[in-house]
Amino acid sequence: MNVTIAGIVSGSNGPAIAQAARVLADGGLVAMPTETVYGLAARADDDAAVAKIFATKGRPSDHPLIVHVLGREQALAFAAGLSEAAERLIAAFWPGPVTVIVRRAPGVADAAAAGLPTLALRCPAHPVARALMEQCARLGVPGLAAPSANRFGRVSPTTAAHVSEEFGPELMVLDGGASELGIESAIVDCSGTAPVLLRPGVVTREQLERALGTTLREPDAASPSAPGTLESHYAPRATLRLMSPSELKTALQVLPATVQGVAVYSRTAPRRHPLVQVMPDDPRAVARELFAVLRAFDARGVKLIWVEQPPDTPDWEGVNDRLQRAAAH
């Protein structure tokens, strides 16, 4: 009488969460909502389960995954101690969209860490993710390895439907609504002598630095590489070009408004221009909708996406990072 639920299931459905936890405890995969983007989860302490994530995503096995935990206590099961920087970020931002990289406890989560001596740990705030992890903990699962639930190199999913489009109906997807933040967590490497920002997120550099009580270093040759910070990442199928406001203005003046195959995402272009989708002025609003906007352009079959470069200010850092990677494809 064990009916397997697959496809999209409401995350407020208690029996579905219980079943998802059993699937995970048994070494299977489930997609879960988080406040940043949807994740493709497996139990972090089972290398064979984690291998299914790499296979399903088409992700090279040397690209480490983030392990999701309920809080500091669970984090300690994976870490070889927490540095002061990690402690400060955990105290300030967990649960929330900040991932810390710490030194890994020997022998745990080898596959998730891709064999590295460090491990990325994140404590999501989304109630469905938390309910799922609580059920998992009752079944003896100490944490969930979960990359963004997209095929390798593609745009991260911010809705349950996006995940199903990526992986088909056999995968169980817990629906927790559209992700509130919309871009992936900020990643801070706290495993060395000084904290390094490996991936900017919605929490700004200034907020991170205030909590750390020190400035963040830029990644350099000595920093662990975060391969997800590969240049061409978060890529739509269409070619994305970043343009300055004036470049875009000129381009729109010469382009016939009825041209096919071009989409424009802009804050300052004429709002009634038929090609233009208006970009909000608030960076958080743009972060929230960015990946869905890129997916919608792809679904329309456009070949070219022109995006107006947002201001080069700290509050736009997370969005600018994703746009630059999408444009580098």
Whose tokens are 């999501």? That residue is 124
From the list Mg ion, ligand TXA, none, partner contacted by residue 320 (C-beta under 5 to 8 A by kind): none
Residue ranges binding ligand TXA (CB under 6 A): 34, 36-37, 39, 63-66, 99, 101, 113, 116, 118-120, 122, 124, 146-148, 184-185, 187, 198, 224, 226-229
In this complex, which beta carbon is closest to ligand TXA, that of residue 64 or of residue 195? Answer: 64
Q: Which of 148, 159, 204, 320 binds Mg ion (CB under 5 A)?
A: 148
From the list Mg ion, ligand TXA, none, partner contacted by residue 39 (C-beta under 5 to 8 A by kind): ligand TXA
Q: How far apart are CA 199 and CA 286, in angstroms?
A: 17
Beta-sheet strands, E only, within 218-329: 239-243, 262-266, 276-278, 304-308
Residue 94: how many CB atoms within 10 A of its CB? Answer: 21
Report the residue closest to ligand TXA, judged by CB.
228
Of 88, 322, 282, the C-alpha closest to 200 is: 322
Angular region, 207: left φ>0, alpha ψ -120 to 50, beta rest:
alpha
From the list Mg ion, ligand TXA, none, partner contacted by residue 109 (C-beta under 5 to 8 A by kind): none
Report, in Å, the least distance between residue 147 CB and ligand TXA. Answer: 3
177: tokens are: 């609504």
20: tokens are: 């998802």
Of 230, 288, 232, the C-alpha closest to 97 is: 288
Report, in Å, the least distance between residue 284 CB and ligand TXA. Answer: 15
In this complex, which beta carbon is closest to ligand TXA, that of residue 46 or of residue 184? Answer: 184
Whose tokens are 């706290």? That residue is 190
From the list Mg ion, ligand TXA, none, partner contacted by residue 224 (C-beta under 5 to 8 A by kind): ligand TXA
Which residues of this chain interact with Mg ion, rule CB under 5 A? Answer: 148
